[in-house]
Amino acid sequence: MTRVEKMARWASWVVAATVVAFLLGPLIVTVVVSFTSSSVYTLPPQDWSLRWYVAASRKSGLAEAVGLSLQIAVISTALALILGTMAAISVVRGRFAGREAIATFAVSPLMMPGLVVGVAMLQAFRSVGFRDAWISLILAHIVITLPFVMRTLLAALERFDFTLIDAARTLGLSYPQAVLKVLAPGLAPAFLTSGLFAFLASMDNYPISIFLTDARNKTLPIKMLQYLEEQPDPTLAAISTGLILLALVVLAVGSRSVGLNRMVQ
């Protein structure tokens, strides 16, 4: 290895270490701050306490917001998995014109400004006189979660060897049986990863949800920003720590069954 190459390699390790600190630092700070006993954000905390967790558990409307966000994320992810899997199979297996356009269209909401999509949906719902916030949120969140399913399943189906299904049928399985016993297990990692990321994207969405909520149906991110405006104390750090824990659990499940490296592909 020449000197230039060695220096380049050394420099890129320095950058990578900086990036790791840059990405994980803010999360670590939030967790540490949540255990402080003072009401200002001092670092490191002078005294440790759980008072902000107690405060969070008493925060009015928090439990309802968490429940609503979980409901919407689970239902919309499940429906997106069904719609997205069907569409992805159609694009990969079909031999008709415009398949690439369908794939691009179904993934495109990921790259459109969320706020604009939210405004557009609000106006469309209003113009047909539809006002139910809960159903609006579910309908909108399917548009948010579908691209994640579509993207991952397209890649997984491209890699899947469909002659395996023919082989299973030669061995005496019916077509539905072959799909259930051969295709479904083969796609399981893709279902899991795309489902997890879709779920998290729904839990985190603010710009679309803000236009569709009403006084009774407020999702967690909207409630959190509201708390932050009303009273910016470390209660929010405690709630955030809860969300970081949820993310860790989700990732642990994902990496146990699929592997971290496959999750990022």
Restricting to residues 156-185, which ones interact with another protein according to CB under 8 A?
none
Query: What DSSP assignment string belongs to 152-189?
Result: HHHHHHHHS-THHHHHHHHTT--HHHHIIIIIHHHHHH
Task: Give the closest residue to 233 by CA, choosing from 34, 29, 22.
Answer: 34
Q: Does 93 bind another protein (CB under 8 A)?
A: yes
We find the least distance from the C-beta atom of residue 97 to another protein, in angstroms, to be: 8
CB nearer to another protein: pick between 62 and 142: 142
Q: Does 231 bind another protein (CB under 8 A)?
A: no
131 within 8 A of 66, measured Cβ to Cβ: no
218 within 8 A of 65, measured Cβ to Cβ: yes
Q: Does 116 bind another protein (CB under 8 A)?
A: yes
Binding range to another protein, per CB under 8 A, among 58-66, 161-169, 182-190, 235-243: 235-243
Q: Does 203 bind another protein (CB under 8 A)?
A: yes
Task: Give the closest residue to 240 by CA, choosing from 30, 35, 53, 67.
Answer: 30
Residue 71's Cβ-count burial label (10 Å; 0-12, 13-18, 19+) is: middle
Question: Which 19-48 residues touch another protein, going by CB under 8 A?
Answer: 19-20, 22-24, 26-27, 29-30, 33, 40-43
Q: Does 10 bind another protein (CB under 8 A)?
A: no
Calculate Rg over the CA atoms of the chain. 23
Binding range to another protein, per CB under 8 A, among 54-62, 166-174, 180-188, 236-244: 236-244
H helix runs in the chain, sequence order? 3-33, 51-58, 62-93, 99-107, 114-127, 133-159, 163-170, 175-178, 184-204, 220-230, 235-257, 260-263
- Applying CB under 8 A, which of residues 154, 187, 243, 258 lies at the interface with another protein? 243
Question: Which 56-75 residues touch another protein, going by CB under 8 A?
Answer: none
- Applying CB under 8 A, which of residues 72, 73, 84, 154 lies at the interface with another protein? 84
- Applying CB under 8 A, which of residues 61, 184, 248, 257 lies at the interface with another protein? 248
- Applying CB under 8 A, which of residues 68, 221, 235, 238 lies at the interface with another protein? 221
Q: By CB under 8 A, how many residues form the interface with another protein?
A: 89
We find the least distance from the C-beta atom of residue 195 to another protein, in angstroms, to be: 13
CA distance 233 to 226: 12
